[in-house]
A and B are shown apart, each in its own frame.
Chain A
Amino acid sequence: MILNMESILLKDNVECLEGYFAAGGYKPLKKALALKPSEVTDEVKKSNLRGRGGAGFPTGLKWSFIPKDAPGPRYLVCNADEGEPGTFKDRELLLKNPHALIEGMAIAGYAIGAAHGYIYIRGEFAAEAALLERAVADARAKGFIGRNILGSGFNFELFVHRGAGAYICGEETALLESLEGFKGQPRLKPPFPAVKGLFGSPTVINNVETLAAVPSIIEKGGDWYAAIGAGKSAGTKLFCVSGPVNKPGVYELPLGVPFRTFLENNCGGLKAGKKLKAVIPGGSSTPVLTAAEALAVNLDYESLAAAGSMLGSGAVIIIDESQCMVKLLQVLARFYHHESCGQCTPCREGCGWIEKLLNRLEDGRGTVKDLDTLYSVAEAMLGRTICPLADAMAMPVMSFVKKFRSEFEAHAAGKCCPPDAAGEH
């Protein structure tokens, strides 16, 4: 495993086209256009690149699901609706390396036969969207997107579309609904977007970080990328760290780095006087790990799954002993309740119920019975809805209650928070 490797995604001085070009940018596009589209997909398959939005689905395989002989247009959509609490890594990429995304999209568009790509960017990212628009305009001016790219005969137009502020639009089919101008609500699957996606046409939806990794894979080869990381968790991943550490921020690491190493070496350890209590490893929807579990885990898809959680989006939320787990869960519940689209019964009703139960517990009105209800409501939501938002609420609830039950019981007994957490409210 290469630990002190050169960054693939986060580089210096590539914000503008000149810098990106000087660093060898848009050469991979030229290389890709000389290949057959299927060869491009094969290279990405070979790289073992997996979706960086959270689900970790193999990217090359996703591209190959586009029906070969389907008539009519195909679309490529970039999911830049980064909204999971704790996640801020795509924003960093959009600001620091927008052309990697644009080039990645042109290559992916070529691979799947799409003439149009959309970047669906989170509505709150106004400045990022403006910068991205400019980067797209620059790339278009140089002929990297548009008609007959680099004389290859391949046409690829790229549009930036701003969301309207709903977390649910980060779910790929809700994103498509929103992009089409409808209320952002997930669609029933099947049909999957690869068969019937945007405007009813075959569509590939990839995360910003996923697409931004594509140019390097084409440039240096799938085998090179596959060799980085740990086994099936190939390549590098952006980790965005928040919480009481000395150096919170976004870090690019090869997959498989032990969390302990990451915490000490990259994040500079916990702030003075703070003691690690828990870690949410992959964004607020992933199950929480206790300090002991976290310190024993490696940051890759398989290790985190084995530890009962998920790599998710790579949003590492550090929780120290002074934090109240009930209060934290209440904050999450408020978020998911607010963001539930309201379509499926278990999520629509369950998220609100969970928030109300947590309000009771946090306010000192709760009972142990409420605690049992809380857990069973989460269980009743899990895996029973159209999209994973209900799971995103249920998983933290179940893991918080299971692993920190004594804190919840203390709340139920009328003792509110850990003694040293009082000041944090």
Chain B
Amino acid sequence: MPKLTIDGKAVEAAKGATLLEAAQQLGVYIPRYCYHPKLSVSGNCRMCLVEVEKTSKLVTACSTEAAEGMSVRTDSEKVKAARRDVLEFLLINHPLDCPICDQAGECGLQDYYMEYSLKKSRFPQGDKVTRQKRRALGPHLVLDNERCVLCTRCVRFCSEVTKTSELEVMERADHSFIDLKEGKSLDNDYSLNIADLCPVGAWTSRDFRFKSRVWFLKKTPTVCLGCATGCLIEAHHNENTVYRLVPRPNAETNTWLCDRGRMTYKAVQAGDRLAKGVIKNGLIDLEPALREAATRIDEQHAAAAVLGSPWLSIEDNAALARLAAEALKTENFCFDFSAEQGIKDGILVNKDPAPNTAGAGLVKAACGGLSLEEFSRRIADKRIKVVITEARAAAFIKDALKASGARLIVFAVNRAEIPPEAYATLPYASYFETPGTFVNYQGLKRRAEPAVEAKEGVKPLWAVVNKLAVYSGTSLRLDSAEDALKGINFR
């Protein structure tokens, strides 16, 4: 554990730590472009040059190991001059097209220029090296080579993280540019991380670009519900519209986010978003839809059943459990979902596509209920004649439903989710609009936080359940998601 000083402050660095990491420990920020904690050290941008006592040349903080007794300065005139010089070099051939650049506002060149340079350009505009602009590469990205600072984060990401090695630096000197390797296309499952990694406007997301200036965006920390991995994310939104999802790097689960996960926000704003109920393909207002659903349930009072869902939060599953126990007073309920879990691609994507299999398991542990097998058998035997569940969970009992013709009442966010067997569909608020607790494959509880508001009339699932119970003649007294958990004894 080497002890050293950085800008006069003493620090004991971890063995093998670099100067950049040791400085971070002290809260001393060293500017960087090519350095990324999860990629190999490249040392090419030269932005992190610092002064080490008794060393004649400046050294790169990203690659120099902290050593006992070192005295490091990150704020000397020599260091400041080096930063100004590097920024000047990076900007001479940069197109300075910030007004039409989607990175503006979160650009490493803009930010560092304001922080470390403010030097007037000495380079004639007409002498700039020109390169190819806005080239669509792969389904998700656009590359502007003129804005590139050649930090090679994108190249290293593709070779070290996805191990697909699509990218390469072509040519030499100031003619260098990023390009696809021959015969490759940039369509790996994590390609959008490149837009995040790129410190400048070279790589931008085809989905996000020109949709919103970043300074208008509000950021809500939440969790990705794309699979059981449960990556921590941030939803970026403005005026009740979500514009993008980005990873919230954490030691437990994720540094990155997969492309499919990034697109999960789309369903919330999709054209087939349900704001009304559906009875046999016909749209109908929520209240009559609830009434109709409640009537069908009452018809079969003794033979009504509730199936939880690994796509729903713990609170909403708990609300369903209470619907079964307190309103329907039936033993025909099931929270028995098992799925093979674990990372299937060596990076983030889980074998279990549902975000809350483990959370549903907690409800099962607390409330009991039938096994999925027994539940299905009772449907097939026509002991269960009406099933209330979430749209995607209906797939678990698809065969039994087909065999018995039992009525299916589902909760759905989008029309596309509704299974063909559904008799009635009740809309509910997505987890971008309402909070919920999920348990990922590691057993970690993660909270979805609302980033936007649901359309008028669209309620959280627990609230829809509450109403359904009222129409069936029972009050569950649910005023919040947390209320659903009351009376359930979680072990």
A-facing residues in B1-53 (Cβ within 8 Å): 41-47, 49
Contact A380 B85 (CB under 8 A): yes
- B70 nearest CB across to chain A (Å): 15
Enumerate chain B residues within 8 angstroms of A339, measured Cβ to Cβ. 172-173
Distance of A344 Cα from B57 Cα, bound (Å) = 15
A183, A338, A345: most-surrounded residue (chain B CB, <10 A): A345
Distance of A20 Cα from B306 Cα, bound (Å) = 95
Number of interface residues of B (CB under 8 A): 34
Enumerate chain A residues within 8 angstroms of B104, measured Cβ to Cβ. none
Which of B46, B86, B93, B173 interacts with A341 by CB under 8 Å? B173
Contact B44 A353 (CB under 8 A): no
Enumerate chain A residues within 8 angstroms of B129, measured Cβ to Cβ. 352
Enumerate chain B residues within 8 angstroms of A166, measured Cβ to Cβ. 172
- Nearest CB to that of B152 among chain A residues? A343
- B416 nearest CB across to chain A (Å): 47
Contact B58 A384 (CB under 8 A): yes
| A residues apposed to B, CB below 8 Å | 166, 168, 183, 188, 337-346, 348-353, 356, 373, 380, 383-386
Q: Is B456 interfacial (CB-CB < 8 Å)?
A: no
- B175 nearest CB across to chain A (Å): 7
Interface of A is mostly: helix
| B residues apposed to A, CB below 8 Å | 41-47, 49, 56-58, 60, 63, 82, 85-86, 88-90, 92-93, 122-123, 127, 129, 149-150, 169, 171-176
A348, A352, A356: most-surrounded residue (chain B CB, <10 A): A348
Contact B175 A342 (CB under 8 A): yes
Which of B88, B93, B149, B173 interacts with A337 by CB under 8 Å? B173
Which of B57, B89, B122, B169 interacts with A342 by CB under 8 Å? B169
Interface of B is mostly: loop
Distance of A373 Cα from B46 Cα, bound (Å) = 20
Distance of A417 Cα from B297 Cα, bound (Å) = 100
- Given A342-B174, A348-B174, A380-B57 contact (CB < 8 Å): no
- Nearest CB to that of A383 among chain B residues? B57
Contact A344 B63 (CB under 8 A): no
Distance of A76 Cα from B42 Cα, bound (Å) = 26
- Given A339-B172, A342-B176, A349-B92, A386-B85 contact (CB < 8 Å): no
Q: Show 8 A/B contacts (Cβ-Cβ < 8 Å), sorted by A.
A: A183-B169, A338-B173, A341-B172, A345-B46, A345-B150, A348-B89, A353-B89, A384-B85
Which of B41, B45, B172 interacts with A345 by CB under 8 Å? B45
Contact B85 A373 (CB under 8 A): no
Which of A340, A356, A380, A386 interacts with B173 by CB under 8 Å? A340
Distance of A385 Cα from B56 Cα, bound (Å) = 13
A-B pairs with lowest CB-CB distance, top 6: A380-B85, A342-B176, A349-B89, A352-B174, A340-B173, A383-B57
Distance of A380 Cα from B89 Cα, bound (Å) = 9
Distance of A342 Cα from B89 Cα, bound (Å) = 12
Which of B92, B122, B127, B172 interacts with A340 by CB under 8 Å? B172
Contact B172 A188 (CB under 8 A): no
Enumerate chain A residues within 8 angstroms of B88, measured Cβ to Cβ. 380
Contact B90 A342 (CB under 8 A): no
